[in-house]
Amino acid sequence: MNKHRRTVSVGTEPKTSNVVAVPSAENTDTSARKALSRFGEALTTRYWYALVPTALAFLATVNTLWNEYASDDTQQVLNNAFIRDLRNLPLAFTSSVWSFVGVDIAMTAQSYYRPLFSVLFAINYALFGTAAWGWHLVNVLVHVSVTILVFIVCKELTGRRRLASITAALFAVHPVHAESIAWVSGVTDPLMSLFLLPAFYFYLRHRETHRRYFIALMAALYFLALLCKESAIALPVFVVYCEIFYFTESGALPKRFFRAAALSALFALPTLVYMLMRYESLGISLAARDDRYPLGPALLTIPLAIVKYLVLMAAPVRYSYQHFTLPITSVTSAQFIWPTAVVTILTLAIVFSKSRLLKLSSVWFITMLSPALLAMKHFDPPYLIQERYLYLAAMGVCLAVALGIERLSTVAVFQAPRRTAAIATSVLVLVFGSVHVAQNRVWKDTITLFRHCVAVDPESEETHLSLCGSYYSAGYPRQAEAEARIGLKLNPQNPSGYSSLSFFSKEAGRLDQAIDYMEQAVREVPVNPITRMNMATVHLNLGLLYAQRKEFQRAEDHVIISTQLWDRAVGWYYTGEFYFAQARYEEARQMYERTLQEVPSRYAPIHLKIGLSWEALGQMDNARAEYSQYLEYAPADAPDRKAVAQRISELSGESKTK
């Protein structure tokens, strides 16, 4: 493999020959089968360097097989009716990840379109049912496969097996991956990597051979990566960088720009198809109306987020499901100034370094992380920073560290430089691997997960409030209320604490106390760009509580304030519910119709609500049409299907009688 590539001495930059293999007429009809065969060589003895990283990936993650389910797994695995029948697989490509949650408009309104994630879960369920070990085994095998791909890509990119092996070994054991592997529902990034890395590999093969079928394979695998997770859209950006700045031997700058533009056009088709599929399925763009903050604070927070992500890669401590980060609102804030200075210094050091590979690894890191950075305005402060977003980006840091280790093997100051480099690699692998194994156990179950969050950051009210929710879901209301009070004591201006206590009071039948907690939130929490969305939820819930107490005018006032603070589908839906309960059917219908504009058209319950509104207004033909839409989109086991079908029959009979 790479026979025309010059050999490179250890510790130097790779020098790629300009000689290009020209296919003869005899080879012009070579099929994609040959390309896949070449790719399969990575699994032969020629790549025994990959065996150690592969074994390390398995050893660092195998203890997850003794875990149960945690966090979203309860919904995505145990309560997911979609995955229980393989006949539902086509629906994965026409609905959102959360479309199965038919009773929760808040989850349905989320814009997660990841068909292959849903397909994988349906296959997992067919193979393992609800046996947690099987689901964890699949995640382990995916990670092992991605580790092999990291080796293959690095080997193809650099021509240096030893460097690729060190990179893959560090990638295999890095504890930042625990969230993606030990959490069943966290598999989206590894699954995406399973397609994105081969797509990049075939791009490299095309550059070397100029064979067009490599480009076809690249585009197809890139499309599959998009169907796993939307952040795969970062790959074309990195390819453009490679064409213009890395492969400088390809010709003059204008020529490199032309090649980059041509490749961008090739990526455009699968991207466009994906976007159309997404729009048809969700009825919304890449992001719904769920911006937690304005664009300004989100952008100002990027330097701090980059520094936090780099610390997670460099220091194997304080890993947690929650890294509470408040958005930055001013350029004069110290939280903006010092991270910006750090990022600037690092950037200048890399730009002026003599290592093209170091620059390349840095660009890979920031490019693969950029979708998460640009999407921060959609995340709540506890989840602004997420370890799983580092899964593929980590390859860049691992490559940079591997370059440093390789450099050690050439430093004459050491008596045995190669041994020194081997010791450094072994120490890093041992430390990272040990932390990884320990972190896997944090994901044993939901309560263990959030107890760990509290242990890592006991002064954060959000960790206590999250533990509060997990306690309540597990059937421990007293412990839940205690954690809510701790959270509220730590920060009396956190609306989530009041909302939790209000919910507990309501469930205990203490309606007046529930209202008092929400009124206290209105008094204590200032409305600003950071609290706006949570306060919208407070006003909505307060309005619904007042409606239960038959104080309808006060209820309507708070419901309207909620939609003014945050114009979103959930607010319109519950406003419609409020109007419907008061027999204000036309206003209810308008709210339901408005909701339909922002949720997937296949969301069956909204059609049922609109149908009920039309029937109450005496518009039977419209009602029958909406009921029919409901039956078309509702799951086969939906509890209302039989009643709705019967009502359609009755309305049809009444129409004939007339």
DSSP-based three-state secondary structure for 233: helix
Q: Does the pLDDT of residue 18 top 60, yes or no? A: no
The pLDDT assigned to 321 comes to 96
Mean pLDDT of the chain: 88
Residue 2: predicted pLDDT: 39
Q: What is the pLDDT of residue 165?
A: 94
DSSP secondary structure of 252-317: -HHHHHHHHHHHHHHHHHHHHHHHHHHHHHHSS-SS-S--SS-HHHHHHTHHHHHHHHHHHHH---
In a domain, 456, yes or no: no
Q: Which of 409, 442, 475 is the last residue of a domain?
A: 442
Q: Are 592 and 611 in contact (CB under 8 A)?
A: no
User: Between helices 620-633 and 604-616, what is the axis angle to 10°?
Assistant: 160
pLDDT of residue 85: 86
Q: What is the pTM of this model?
A: 0.87
502 and 435 inside one domain: no
- 428 within some domain: yes
Residues 173 and 157 in one domain: yes
Q: Say what the pLDDT of residue 494 is.
A: 92
Domain assignment present for residue 458? The answer is no
Predicted local distance difference test score (pLDDT) of residue 103 = 55
Same domain (yes/no): 382, 268: yes
| Same-domain check for residues 486 and 603 | no
Q: What is the structure's pLDDT at 470? A: 95
- pLDDT single digits (tens) 326-356: 999 999 999 999 999 999 999 999 999 989 9
Whether residue 646 is contained in a domain is answered as yes
Task: With a cut of 80, say whether residue 98 has pLDDT above it.
Answer: no
Mean pLDDT value of segment 534-538: 94
Instruction: Supply the pLDDT for residue 651.
Output: 84
pLDDT classification of 10: cutoffs 50, 70, 90: very low
- Contacts by 621-626, CB closer than 8 A, 24 or more apart: 621/655, 623/651, 624/648, 624/651, 624/652, 624/655
- Residue 457 located in a structural domain: no
Q: What is the pLDDT of residues 134-147, one digit of tens each?
A: 999 999 999 999 99
Nearest Cα to Cα of residue 114 among 288, 195, 230, 223: 230
Check whether 100 has a pLDDT greater than 60.
Answer: yes
**Band (414; pLDDT cuts 50, 70, 90):** low
Cβ-contact 609, 580 below 8 angstroms: yes
pLDDT computed for residue 106 by the predictor: 65
Q: Average the pLDDT over 359-366 and give the result.
A: 97
The CATH number given to whatever domain includes residue 649 is: 1.25.40.10
d(CA 102, CA 115): 18
Total domains in the chain come to 3
Separation in Å, CA 470 to CA 144, 182, 408, 459, 475: 31, 18, 48, 18, 9
Q: Is the pLDDT of residue 24 over 50?
A: no
pLDDT tens figures, 426-476:
999 999 999 999 999 999 999 999 999 999 999 999 999 999 999 999 999
Q: Are residues 387 and 513 part of one domain? A: no
Q: Which residues contact 158 (CB under 8 A, 6 or more apart)?
A: 14, 164, 357
Same-domain check for residues 537 and 406: no
Question: Best-predicted range by mean pLDDT among 100-109, 284-293, 309-318?
Answer: 309-318
pLDDT confidence tier of residue 610, bands split at 50, 70 and 90: very high
Task: Indicate whether 18 belongs to any domain.
Answer: no
Same domain? For 364 and 470 the reply is: no
pLDDT of 71 > 90? The answer is: yes
Residues 435 and 512 in one domain: no
How confident is the model over 625-654, as a mean pLDDT?
84
DSSP 3-state of 561: helix
Q: Evaluate whether residue 279 is within a structural domain.
A: yes
- From 442, 475, 496, the end of a domain falls on 442
**Residues 559, 644 share a domain:** no
Instruction: Give mean pLDDT, residues 29-35.
Output: 56
Residue type, 147: T
Same domain for 353 and 238:
yes
Contacts of 603 (CB under 8 A, 6+ apart): 99, 102, 108, 596, 633
- The dihedrals phi and psi of 523, each to the nearest 5 degrees, come to -75, -40
Helix intervals (H) in 159-252: 161-173, 178-182, 188-209, 212-228, 234-241
Q: How confident is residue 284, by pLDDT bands cut at 50, 70 and 90?
A: low
Q: What is the pLDDT of residues 499-527, one digit of tens each?
A: 999 999 999 999 999 999 999 999 999 99
Residue 46 confidence (pLDDT) above 60: no
CA distance 167 to 155: 10
73 and 160 in a common domain: yes
Q: What is the pLDDT of residues 147-191, one digit of tens each?
A: 999 999 999 999 999 999 999 999 999 999 999 999 999 999 999
- Mind listing the pLDDT tens digit for each residue in 574-606? 999 999 999 999 999 999 999 888 877 777 888
End of a domain among 567, 591, 615? 567
Q: What is the rounded distance in angstroms from the CA atom of residue 517 to the CA atom of residue 526? A: 15
In a domain, 455, yes or no: no
CB 614 within 8 A of CB 623: yes
Domain around 499: 464-567
**Residue 445 corresponds to which tokens in the numbers above?**
């179950």
Which positions ≥6 away from 318 have C-beta within 8 Å? 456, 457
Burial of 337 (0-12, 13-18, 19+ CB in 10 A): middle
Residues 548 and 585 in one domain: no
Residue identified by tokens 């997911």 is 80
